[in-house]
Structure 1
């Protein structure tokens, strides 16, 4: 699954054909539309397949003002996007590996940090719940 500005990505037609679930956006797409599509399509994709793990590329070139992405997502929208993805993964007991990428503004580092803190504060990342085991004899 990939969510992207259809006018700039992907430039490689073979790569584009390899994307099974394309969520193509237009220039200037804002939070409301973006977040609705992310939530709908993450759920939809996970209704089609049950992966052993989700590899989540959490790009920030979607941020308003980014010189590459061409979208208009607010810092709060990026934080909410990550929360949506992690919440859905957690609700389905699917481990998730998040990598950060893209984002060509100095402020993206702070937004990524704020998102990680939010995920931690919501209990979506951090220490795994303690398992109780009977002692082995």
Structure 2
């Protein structure tokens, strides 16, 4: 399963896996921005098209509904999660209005979705055209660790 939550409609992976029934694509994106790839769009198994200016609460409500639908339609063995930060309020290209806290909650919901079904998840950070994106990603990772959804652990190396 590909869960694509950056602000742009995916088109590369959708075309690559569009005819492969072993891959299910959930793509939630701003329908008013690039790439407007109508060929790729027909390969999305589950699309959630958002309007420019969608705010945190509406974004998260749409995500919760989408994950419930995905769970009822497909039983993946692996989730590849595109965790873009171009959904942040103020991002010049994404044009959505999700707060930094909303990004952390979004990631938590996706990780909990995977954990509840015992599905391994690969998180790819992407998008995000503001300097604040790095801090938002770091805070989200810390939140995931605090909620026991990931183990970032620590390594000690003894030097003699």
Q: TM-score, normalised by structure 1?
A: 0.89
Distance (whole Å) between structure 2 residues aligned to residue 68 and residue 16 of structure 1: 19
SS in 1 for 2:115: helix
Query: Which stretches in structure 1 are left out of the alignment for 5+ residues?
Result: 128-137
Residue 9 of structure 1 and its aligned partner are, at CA, apart by 4.2
| Counterpart selection for 1:77 from 89, 93, 102 | 102
Distance (whole Å) between structure 1 residues aligned to residue 48 and residue 37 of structure 2: 16
**After TM superposition, which residue ranges in structure 1, 4 or more long, deviate above 4 angstroms?**
none
Residue 65 of structure 1 and its aligned partner are, at CA, apart by 0.4
1:52 corresponds to: 77
RMSD: 1.3
Query: Which stretches in structure 2 are left out of the alignment for 5+ residues?
Result: 1-25, 153-160
3-12 or 53-62, which moves further after superposition?
3-12
Distance (whole Å) between structure 2 residues aligned to residue 3 and residue 84 of structure 1: 14
Distance (whole Å) between structure 1 residues aligned to residue 124 and residue 90 of structure 2: 22
Give a deviation string over 1:18-64, Cα, whole Å, max 9, x none. 11111000110001110011111112112111000000000010000
1:111 aligns with 2:156: no
Distance (whole Å) between structure 2 residues aligned to residue 67 and residue 24 of structure 1: 19
Q: How many equivalent residue pairs?
A: 128
| Counterpart selection for 1:97 from 122, 125, 140 | 122
Q: TM-score, normalised by structure 2?
A: 0.77
